[in-house]
C-alpha cells in the first residue's frame, strides 16, 4: 500500500473535521438553495399576481377540496391554524376566498375559492412549497422521519426551536 492510499483509508482528526465542515457546507448550501428558490418565486408571485407564494400555495391547497375549514386547511398546508388564519383573512379581504357558515354545523366556517381565486390559480405556476412537499412525500417513510428528526435536532442545537413556524415569506398581520 502506498503512502497516498494509506492516507486515503486512515481516519484522522483532521479528516473528521474536514468531513464535518463538508457536511455543514452541504447542509447550509441545501438550505440556501431552498431559501433562494422561495425568495425568487415570492418576487415573481408578488409582481405577476400581487400575492405571496404562500397565498398562492394556500389557494392551491384550498382548490383541492372546497368546503375546508381552517383546521382542514392547516393540515393540508402542514402548518398551524393561526398561520393559515392570517393568510386566509387576507385572501378573503382580496376577494379570492369566500368564508361561509357550514350547512352541517353553523359554528364552523367553510372556505371556498371565488371566481377571482380560480382565475389566479389557472395562471399561477406550481409553488416551491408544492414541489418541496411532493419531493418530501416521494421519499420512503424512514428517510422522511430521519429528515424531520434531523431538522428538529439542528434547530434545537442552534437555539431556534422556539421560533414560531410560519408560511414561507408571509408577512404577519
More confident residue, 108 or 75: 75
- Number of domains the chain contains: 1
pTM above 0.75, yes or no: yes
Q: Does the residue 73 lie in any domain?
A: yes
pLDDT band at 5 (very low <50, low <70, confident <90, very high): very low
Percent of the chain predicted with pLDDT > 90: 53
**Is residue 140 in some structural domain?**
yes
Query: What residues have CB less than 8 Å from 54, skipping those under 6 apart?
Result: 87, 129, 167, 168, 169, 170
- CATH code, domain carrying 138: 1.10.10.10
CA distance 163 to 73: 22
DSSP assigned state of 140: -
Contact 54, 84 (CB under 8 A): no
Question: Above 90 in pLDDT, residue 33?
Answer: yes
Q: CB 96: neighbour CB atoms within 10 A?
A: 25
Here the cell at position 67 is: 368546503
Q: Is residue 164 part of a domain?
A: no
User: In whole numbers, what is the pLDDT of the chain averaged over residues?
Assistant: 85
Residue 96 included in any domain: yes
Amino acid at each position: 500500500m502506498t503512502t497516498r492510499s494509506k492516507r486515503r483509508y486512515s481516519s484522522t482528526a483532521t479528516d473528521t473535521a474536514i468531513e464535518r465542515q463538508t457536511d455543514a457546507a452541504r447542509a447550509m448550501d441545501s438550505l440556501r438553495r431552498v431559501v433562494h428558490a422561495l425568495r425568487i418565486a415570492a418576487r415573481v408571485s408578488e409582481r405577476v399576481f400581487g400575492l405571496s407564494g404562500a397565498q398562492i400555495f394556500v389557494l392551491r391547497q384550498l382548490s383541492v377540496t372546497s368546503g375546508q375549514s381552517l383546521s382542514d386547511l392547516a393540515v393540508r398546508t402542514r402548518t398551524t391554524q393561526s398561520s393559515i388564519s392570517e393568510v386566509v383573512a387576507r385572501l378573503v379581504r382580496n376577494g379570492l376566498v369566500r368564508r361561509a357558515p357550514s350547512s352541517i354545523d353553523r359554528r364552523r366556517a367553510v372556505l371556498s375559492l371565488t371566481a377571482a381565486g380560480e382565475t389566479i390559480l389557472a395562471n399561477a405556476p406550481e409553488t416551491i412549497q408544492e414541489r418541496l412537499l411532493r419531493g418530501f412525500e416521494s421519499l420512503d417513510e424512514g428517510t422522511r422521519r430521519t429528515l424531520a428528526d434531523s431538522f428538529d435536532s439542528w434547530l434545537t442545537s442552534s437555539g431556534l426551536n422556539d421560533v414560531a413556524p410560519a408560511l414561507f415569506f408571509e408577512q404577519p398581520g
